[in-house]
Chains A and B, each alone.
Chain A
Amino acid sequence: DAGVIQSPRHEVTEMGQEVTLRCKPISGHDYLFWYRQTMMRGLELLIYFNNNVPIDDSGMPEDRFSAKMPNASFSTLKIQPSEPRDSAVYFCASSRSNTEAFFGQGTRLTVV
Chain B
Amino acid sequence: GNSVTQMEGPVTLSEEAFLTINCTYTATGYPSLFWYVQYPGEGLQLLLKATKADDKGSNKGFEATYRKETTSFHLEKGSVQVSDSAVYFCALSSRSNDYKLSFGAGTTVTVRA
Cα A15 to Cα B99 in complex, Å, equals 35
Total A-B pairs, Cβ < 8 A:
44
* Interface size counted on chain A using CB atoms at 8 A: 22
A42 at the interface (CB under 8 A from B): yes
Pick out which of these stretches binds chain A: B44-52, B60-68, B78-86: B44-52
Chain B interface residue count: which class? 10 to 19
A112 at the interface (CB under 8 A from B): no
Contact A103 B43 (CB under 8 A): yes
Residue of A nearest to B98 (CB): A55
Q: Chain A interface mostly helix, strand, loop or mixed?
A: strand
Chain B residues with CB under 8 Å of chain A are 32, 34, 36, 42-46, 49, 89, 93, 95, 98-101, 103, 105-106
Chain A residues with CB under 8 Å of chain B are 4, 31, 33, 42-43, 45, 48, 50, 55-56, 91, 93, 95, 97-98, 100-106
